[in-house]
Amino acid sequence: MEIDEIEWHDGVYSGHTFNPNYGGISEIILYCELYPEPINTSHRSAFEIKCFGVKRFVCSCGLPELVTNKNAGNINYGYQTNDVLYVFLFGGFIEIQAEHFEAKLR
């Protein structure tokens, strides 16, 4: 699934893993519950957003806001432009510059 096919609004960010892999390709995996389609979807699905060849990773989050908004959805919006993924959270943001992105259902 392509990043731009996902409905990010009202999704839930639940964490990430980061492998700097100093001798090879660095990776980040975002764990989110997202709506697989923008309309007529009654529940979120668990996704892994895999980022390969990471060049830059910026994350700033107010943890109380993430927890408070988890049930309603702590993701406001997300999109990819060229080689950068932006995820705007209620209480923060995530920005990842990488060579390749994949979105997979867990």
* pLDDT tens digits along 87-103: 999 989 999 999 999 99
The model's pTM = 0.91
Q: State yes or no: pLDDT of 40 exceeds 80.
A: no
The residue among 59, 106, 55, 99 whose CA lies nearest residue 80 is 99
Q: Which two tokens stand for residue 29?
A: 């995996």
Confidence band for 28, pLDDT divided at 50, 70 and 90: very high
Q: State yes or no: pLDDT of 66 exceeds 80.
A: yes
Structural domain boundaries in the chain: 3-105
